[in-house]
Chains A and B, each alone.
Chain A
Amino acid sequence: MATITEVTPEAATLSNDEILRYSRHLIMPEVGMEGQLKLKAARVLCIGAGGLGSPLALYLGAAGVGTLGIVDFDVVDYTNLQRQIIHSTADVGRKKLDSAAEKLKAINPFLNIRKFETRLSSDNALELFREFDIIADGTDNFPTRYLVNDACVLTGKPNVYGSIFRFEGQASVFATEEGPCYRCLYPEPPPPGLVPSCAEGGVLGILPGLVGVIQATEAIKLILDKGDALIGRLLLVDALGMKFRELKLRKNPDCPVCSEHPTITKLIDYNEFCGIRGEEKPVETAVPELQVEELKRRLDAGDDLFVLDVREPHEYQICNINGYLIPLGDLPKRVNELDSSREIVAHCRSGARSAKAVDFLRQAGFKKVHNLSGGILAWADRVDPKMPKY
């Protein structure tokens, strides 16, 4: 494989402080002075300073990757802290970019950190990628995954890929000259709504650690030009079974972007490609809604209301309003447990699943059924501030 990093004159030496810092690298023949200088000259762009980006940036920074770019526009919130280890409790509310840069500088003051507070888009990706040697994809959505892949192919930059869901992860190195790209593996994204996101599905906190460190390892191997890169191989990580499996990936001779005769030769509209058209109206507006204050008032007044909770049992354990629990997925086969003559108020966490439940029940002939707008989160915000939110 062609050398990824050119050792520039300004990165051609290490100071005595740097030599001491990197001594455990320097005494390894696989790195040595030559490798450490390559690391210093290397420029890696991390897309996202979240679950995957945290361990990735921390290890790359500690290892002495000279220039670390980070693209992120998000703010740290409490639910990030369970896995996004570059951010601390005091950072809640701060820009992830600032919080991450501060930690990286604290670990390694020799780093050149470049912050890009922007949403990666078809307008800025190519220009941005050209300034880096390796792109590390730690995004959380399909449009950006395809954008990163295509921009890597078009600029000839390797895409160190990692992706996670609940307790399973994937990692690979895409878009090298000889290897396949993400589109060779998945020519098309799933239709919206068919694959749950981390926010809906949850994620085991250590998993982005495992996968992000694999991405960091691959980035460093590419820079050092040592070992066998994860090119043409998809590593599957199952943290529950603690199994690592490997699948063969081939370059698709008909790949729309990386084959000999590509049909995609410039960046496209990735939201459209992934079937996302602007800000879609939330589904819950289509069904009759009840506000939490109104529910509270009517319950207190002793109205005959049947509260149906369509979340999962493990969510019910976190907090509940004494609703009758039937998880959305079980509703079709348990609908006979409900009395259609009573007035029903369905709720979930934020209102999306219960909107589907209300829609289902109305189609099943239920007439007096409402969706609790904003779900139990709205209840916690506006009715019972003691209730935990998740």
Chain B
Amino acid sequence: MPKIHIPTPLRQYAGKQPDIEVKASTIGEALSGLVAQHPDLRRHLYTDEGKLRAFVNVYLNDEDVRYLQKEATAVKDGDSISIVPSIAGGRS
């Protein structure tokens, strides 16, 4: 099964797990499987209209899915999916 890497800021909404395996054949299925398992994640990943939020980037292995087939991008066993939200910390 493909594995989704959950970034630190979102782990609190995903049962504090760093990685979650989901059964899926596309990026879209993987993400909907993820929010089905962890409903609290939904509002952090999707807008009210059900679109992926603009500040949440999704990578299949090391490629941005925006430059692949977006949510229709095929995934297979052993693939690693990363959710990479923007973080701002540093100065204070």
Contact = CB atoms under 8 A, between A and B. Distances in A.
Nearest to B47: A191
A140 B91 contact: yes
Nearest to B67: A250
A165 B9 contact: yes
25 contacts: A48-B90, A50-B91, A139-B91, A140-B88, A140-B91, A141-B88, A142-B88, A163-B86, A163-B89, A163-B90, A164-B87, A164-B89, A168-B8, A188-B55, A189-B86, A195-B9, A195-B86, A195-B87, A195-B88, A196-B9, A197-B92, A245-B82, A246-B62, A247-B62, A250-B67
B84 A138 contact: no
B54 A188 contact: yes
Contacts of A48: 90-91
B83 to A, nearest CB: 11
Interface stretch (A10-18, A110-118, A198-206, A359-367): A198-206
B57 interface: yes
Contacts of B44: 194
A50 to B, nearest CB: 4
Contacts of B62: 245-248
B84 A197 contact: no
Interface of A: 47-53, 72, 74, 80, 137-142, 145, 162-168, 170, 185-190, 194-199, 201, 203, 208, 211, 234, 236, 241, 245-250, 329
Nearest to A198: B89
The 6 closest A-B pairs by CB, nearest first: A48-B91, A50-B91, A140-B91, A188-B54, A198-B89, A165-B87
Contacts of A195: 9, 55, 85-88
A53 B8 contact: no
Given A142-B88, A186-B55, 7 more contacts: A50-B90, A138-B91, A163-B88, A165-B87, A190-B55, A194-B44, A247-B62
B92 A208 contact: no
A201 to B, nearest CB: 7
Contacts of B82: 236, 245, 247
Contacts of B12: 329
Contacts of A208: 90
B92 A198 contact: yes
A207 B84 CA distance: 18
Interface in B14-70: 18, 44, 53-55, 57, 59, 62-64, 67
Contacts of A72: 91
Contacts of B7: 168
A190 B63 CA distance: 22
Contacts of A74: 91-92
B59 A190 contact: no
Contacts of A249: 64
Given A168-B7, A188-B55, A52 B91 contact: yes
A51 B88 CA distance: 12
B8 A167 contact: yes
Contacts of A140: 88-92
Contact of B88 (A188, A197, A241): A197
A168 B7 CA distance: 8
B54 A186 contact: yes
